[in-house]
Amino acid sequence: MELSRHSSIILSITIVTTFASFVKSSLPQGLQTLNISSEISTDPNITASFATDFGMLFNSTPGAVFYPSSPNDIATLIHFSYTSSKPFPISQRGRGHSTYGQTLVPDGVLIDMSSLGHTNYSRINVTDGPIPYADVGAEQLWIDVLNATLKHDLMPRMLTDYLSLTVGGTLSYAGISGREFKHGPQISNVYEFDVVTGTGEIVTCSREFNPDLFYAALGGLGQFGVITRARIALQPAQKRVRWSRLFYTDIKLVTSDLEKLISPDNNLSGIIDFVEGEVLLGVAQASLIGFTFNFTNSDVQKIIDLASDNNGPIYLLDAVVFYNDTTATSAEQKVDLLLKELQYTSGFAFSYDIPLLNFLNRLHYQETARSSQGRFHPWLVMFVPKSKILEFDSTVYKATLNGTNTVGSLLIYPMNRTMWDDEMSAVTPNAEVFYTTDFLWTTSEANDTKNITIKNNQIQNVGEQLGCKEYLPHFKNQVEWQKQFGNKWGKFVSRKMKYDPKALLSPGQRIFTPSGIN
């Protein structure tokens, strides 16, 4: 019953929308008379450079590329399409770090959000005080936000692992990393934002003002509007970190330590600032550990030996303590306490002391090193309920992926759902604690993407059995999207009707399509 009711709603969205067939190399009629027309390019050399994304798995050239110089310009474009007798789809692109063509828009206009940053006024304003925050352009990269806030001895409360992602892009998913257990995902650490809706209206929203749009757009996969500015929560920054990298051969020990580290019920969670785990499937992956910070060649050899003596995956746990220069001694004591209480394989603790910025920006170096390994990125990220993680380990890492030597980061770390607001569009599994499990594959062989995709599908099937949800989700049809959203689907659809009734925005997510139900 529910299902068919929502299906007919979708149908009505798509029936009213007859999309213009976007004639390449010419703008839709009327667009050239707008005062923003000089910011729109149909030059094939330019449109071609926006035809794919980080994943390199999908290709589709947009009809035109739009370089707005202000949020008003974005409102003008969307309003034009919305009121046109032949509306066209519009895709807001951050830096295109999507992996499954989410920013592509074959017969429409792609908004290059970065052009908002090419202004003479600041797009990152830091306000210090009892509740410090930063007002930032949604096109800004987190590394630039971090860099600007550090000048005030402040930092965003929550950052992703990789920082060359845009604010608007990560707020459209959730924005997660091994700091989630402190304050929740990035969407839980934003006070307000400006958004241009699918009707071309500019709205400022927060928990108090226009809360429904606030909750819709956070984790909203770009479906409800184009975020142009966000007010981000900050906190005092430390100067340095003590970073411990510990190895395990037993899934039970590593998960028990990971859970202990994020649980407020003991005295370890209070002393650490960051926790993540990683699975190394075997010798091939263990030998690539040298791409990550900061093992010596003899460390790497030791780790390879551990992997080769072990029948099955080995696990890495990263536990990090942030500290100011003056508190080095107490940081040392904290690390000693950690190492005493954790159950890693004896002799396999490696500790480093580096500046905070080098730690937070660590993947900048790693990604540079690893990008030499390949250019296709058929990624999968699952949220696995804590009660299922041992089964997930034995089914996925030890069976489905046994023998795999594909390059990739297979992260595994727990998060606490209490820190997520279920009013928001982001989807989590039904469990207080759940694990993020990343399968961040990299390959230079187009052929390998086929067998990796087969493995990914097998993992997705396991996930479905175990009550998992996907992060950075991508699905082939609307039935799968309904499953992903579960009981949140109805609200997602009704918000879509309210804020983007002609389904103009971010069609590359393939949730709502102009041509009807898939």
Ligand X SMILES: *[C@@H]1O[C@H](CO)[C@@H](O)[C@H](O)[C@H]1NC(C)=O
Ligand Y SMILES: Cc1cc2nc3c(=O)[nH]c(=O)nc-3n(C[C@H](O)[C@H](O)[C@H](O)COP(=O)(O)OP(=O)(O)OC[C@H]3O[C@@H](n4cnc5c(N)ncnc54)[C@H](O)[C@@H]3O)c2cc1C
Question: Where in the sequence numbering do the catalytic residues fall?
Answer: 97, 161, 276
Sequence-ordered list of residues with C-beta below 8 angstroms from that of 152, at least 6 positions apart, any chain: 126, 128, 132
DSSP for 42-78, please give it. --HHHHHTTS--TT-------SEEE--SSHHHHHHHH
Residues 6+ apart with CB under 8 A from 487: none
Of the residues 63, 71, 89, 96, which one makes contact with ligand Y according to CB under 6 A: 96
What the block records as the tokens of 433 is 């604690």
Q: Does 160 bind ligand Y (CB under 6 A)?
A: yes
Task: Tell me whether residue 111 or residue 261 sits nearer to ligand Y (CB atom).
Answer: 111
Q: Assess 149 for contact with ligand Y (CB under 6 A).
A: no
Using CB under 6 A, which of the segments 94-102, 208-216, 342-350, 397-405 binds ligand Y?
A: 94-102
Q: How do 380-385 and 314-323 pair as beta strands? A: unpaired
Nearer to ligand Y, 242 or 377 (CB): 377
For 376-413, give the DSSP string.
B---EEEEEEGGGHHHHIIIIIIIITTT---EEEEEEE
Question: Does 79 help bind ligand Y (rule: CB under 6 A)?
Answer: no
Q: Compute the least distance from the CB of residue 147 to ligand Y, in Å.
A: 17
Residues that bind ligand X (CB under 6 A): 35-36, 43, 45, 69-70, 72-73, 76, 119-123, 125, 135-137, 143, 147, 153, 229, 236-238, 262-265, 267, 294, 296, 311-312, 324, 337, 352, 354, 361, 398, 402-406, 416, 418, 432-433, 445, 447-448, 451-452, 455
122: which 2 tokens? 């600041």
Structure tokens that stand for 230 in this block: 């966000």
**Nearest residue to 468 via CA among 490, 483, 449, 447:** 483
Q: In terms of CB distance, is 8 or 267 closer to ligand X?
A: 267
Binding partner at 165 among ligand X, ligand Y, none, C-beta below 5 to 8 Å by kind: ligand Y
Examine residue 374 and tell whether it contacts ligand Y (CB under 6 A).
no
- Cβ-contact 84, 91 below 8 angstroms: no
Of 93-101, 270-278, 353-361, 489-497, which segment contacts ligand Y by CB under 6 A? Answer: 93-101
Residue 98 contacts ligand Y per CB under 6 A:
yes
Distance CA(210)–CA(197), nearest Å, equals 12
Question: Judged by CB, which is closer to ligand Y: 169, or 473?
Answer: 169
The token duo for 482 is 């309904």
**3-state secondary structure labels for all residues of 450-465:** HHHHHHHHHHHHHHHH
Check binding of 162 to ligand Y (CB under 6 A).
yes
CB closer to ligand X, 321 vs 511: 321
Is 227 an interacting residue with respect to ligand Y (CB under 6 A)?
Answer: yes
SS3 (DSSP) at 341: helix
Q: Which is nearer to ligand X, 105 or 415 (CB)?
A: 415
* 2, interface contact from ligand Y, ligand X, none, CB < 5-8 Å by kind: none
Q: Which of residues 405-464 bind ligand Y (CB under 6 A)?
A: none
Q: Which is nearer to ligand X, 382 or 503 (CB)?
A: 382
Tell me which of 197, 509, 512, 514 binds ligand Y, using CB under 6 A: 509
Number of H helices, E strands in the chain: 17, 18
Nearer Cβ to ligand X, position 76 or 494? Answer: 76
> Strand order in 314-323's β-sheet?
349-355, 240-248, 314-323, 274-280, 407-416, 433-442, 380-385, 469-471
Site residue total, ligand Y (CB under 6 A): 35
Name the binder of 61 from ligand Y, ligand X, none, CB < 5-8 A by kind.
none
Asked if residue 92 binds ligand Y (CB under 6 A), the reply is yes
> Please, what is the minimum distance in Å from the beta carbon of residue 7 to ligand X?
35
- Shortest distance, position 477 Cβ to ligand X, whole Å: 24
Residues in the chain: 518
- Shortest distance in whole angstroms from residue 228 CB to ligand X: 8
CA 458 → CA 17, 380, 392, distances in Å?
36, 11, 12
HEC sequence for 409-478: EEEEEEEEHHHCCCCCCCCCCCCCEEEEEEEEEEECCCCHHHHHHHHHHHHHHHHHHCCCEEECCCCCCH
Q: Is 172 in the site for ligand Y (CB under 6 A)?
A: yes
Residue 504 contact, options ligand X, ligand Y, none, Cβ 5-8 Å cut-off depending on partner type: none
For ligand X, the closer CB: 123 or 510: 123
Tokens encoding 244: 């411990």
State the binding partner of 176 from ligand X, ligand Y, none, CB within 5 to 8 A by kind: ligand Y
How far apart CA 493 and CA 67 sit, in angstroms, is 30
Selection from ligand Y, ligand X, none that 509 binds (CB < 5 to 8 A by kind) is ligand Y
* CA atoms of 321 and 92, how far apart (whole Å): 37
> What's the closest the beta carbon of residue 265 comes to ligand Y, in angstroms?
27
Among 62, 63, 94, 277, binds ligand Y (CB under 6 A): 94
| Smallest separation (angstroms) from ligand Y to the CB of 347 | 30
> What is the token pair recorded at 437?
């499990």
**Which positions ≥6 away from 479 have C-beta within 8 Å?**
none
In the complex, which residues of this chain contact ligand Y (CB under 6 A)?
A: 54, 91-98, 102-103, 113, 138, 160-162, 165-166, 168-170, 172-177, 221-222, 226-227, 367, 472, 506, 509
